[in-house]
Amino acid sequence: MKFTEYVFLFVFFSFIGWILEVIFRSFQAKAFINPGFLKGPYLPIYGTGALILTICATHLEGSSLPVKGLVYLFVTTGLEFITGFIFDGCLHTPLWDYSEQRFRIKNYVCLQFSLYWLVLAFAFEYLVLPVYLSVFNLLNPVAVDIFAIVVSGVMFADWTIRCAGIILEKKGKRKLLSDDDESEFMSIAKSLIDHPDVQKLADVRHHHYKTRFDHSLEVAWRSFLISRKLSLDCDATVRGALLHDLFFYDWLREGPRLHGFRHPRICLKNAREVTVLSKKEEDIIIKHMWPLTIIPPLYPESWVVCFVDTCCTMKDYVTGNGKVRVPK
């Protein structure tokens, strides 16, 4: 098999594994459950397992059943342990929990499921793999290459974004554990947060599920953390970020044409009615959509808010994760 054929096998069985888990978990929960860590319909642990078992089956051709059994038991349990360790031990996002099972190691693997994997490994070699290979040989090799590269690229992007999101989230939460951080942020933000015009943003949807108020608060909080780390002007950062999207229409259905280019000016006008703005705060608001606004930000604080706003927006659309802990 050549490289893209292995990639195709990985992608294909990641999808099959996802279907199996959807059926298994949804049946248990009596409701649809989208299993796993990624957003798309694939579970890479199954793809990886299928890939390893295919390589093992190729190399163990002619070996006795006990030898194969030992190898399969070792690789499937090892894969489960490593995956459990990465998600629970490193990312603190456990995907399964064997704490109720007997004969387990650290809740990541247990004897009962290892025996299931062993049976599945043999079923894979003797039942699934031959069928897969006979169907696979009927496929167009160019289509296989394109499909394998595109879908694995999407899976990799999904993985990267999810990991980055979790790491950022953990860092944000860790920071929030400090009362000093929160009280410093709130001492700057409180008067603006309580202003009726800013409160009005809580009634406007911004990114799918998220209100414009929550988005502005998130951008302000994350920008504040960065600005403080870089010893920048935190007051201007927080105030500018809180007001950067101060407009009241549903931009998907109403408002001016070319909203992306024009709303910074509308926000600046609205913000001037809420408070007296410094030059820096005005720059933060008017340049937050750079490079759409062509003239680049003048102050480092404007760059921070522009960057954080872009990241938060991308995160909202890609991960669909609306739960962000910010001071309130």
| Region of 4-12, 57-65, 243-251, 278-286 interacting with Fe ion (CB under 5 A) | 243-251
The count of chain residues that interact with Fe ion, using the rule CB under 5 A, is 2
Q: Name the minimum Å distance from CB 244 to Fe ion.
A: 6
Smaller CB distance to Fe ion: residue 158 or 283?
A: 283
Least distance (Å) between residue 311 CB and Fe ion: 11
Residues 64-103 touching Fe ion, rule: CB under 5 A, are none
Q: Which is nearer to Fe ion, 105 or 274 (CB)?
A: 274
Chain centre distance of CA 87? 13
Give 246-286 as a DSSP string.
---S-TTTSS-SSHHHHHHHHHHHHHHHHS---HHHHHHHH
Whether the CB-CB separation of 234 and 184 falls below 8 Å is answered with: yes
Q: SS3 of 273, please?
A: helix
The nearer residue to Fe ion, 158 or 245, going by C-beta atoms, is 245
Binding mask 15-54 for Fe ion (x = CB under 5 A): ----------------------------------------
Instruction: Tell me: does residue 316 bind Fe ion (CB under 5 A).
Output: no
- Among 268, 309, 315, 324, which residue sits at the site for Fe ion (rule: CB under 5 A)? 309
Residue 124 or 290 having the CB closest to Fe ion? 290
218 contributes a contact to Fe ion by CB under 5 A: no
Q: Give the angle subtended at the CA of 25 by the CAs of 20 and 27, to the nearest 5°.
A: 95
Dist. CA 37–CA 321, nearest whole Å: 12
SS3 string, 199-217, reads: HHHHHCEEECCEEHHHHHH
Q: For Fe ion, which stretch binds (CB under 5 A), given 45-53, 60-68, 196-204, 302-310? A: 302-310
Q: What's the min distance (Å) between Cβ of 215 and Fe ion?
A: 6
Sign of CA dihedral 138, 144, 148, 150: negative
Identify the three-state secondary structure at position 109: strand
Nearer to Fe ion, 148 or 189 (CB): 189
Residue 210 CA to residue 200 CA, distance in Å, equals 14
Q: Work out the angle between the directed axes of helices 234-243 and 179-193 (0-180°, nearest 10).
A: 50
Stretch that binds Fe ion, among 10-18, 30-38, 276-284, 307-315 (CB under 5 A): 307-315
- Applying CB under 5 A, does 245 fall inside the site for Fe ion? yes
The nearest distance, CB 157 to Fe ion, in angstroms, is 22
Nearer to Fe ion, 162 or 315 (CB): 315
The whole-angstrom separation of Cα 205 and Cα 156 is 30
d(CA 194, CA 204): 16
SS3 105: strand
Contact residues for Fe ion (CB under 5 A)? 245, 309
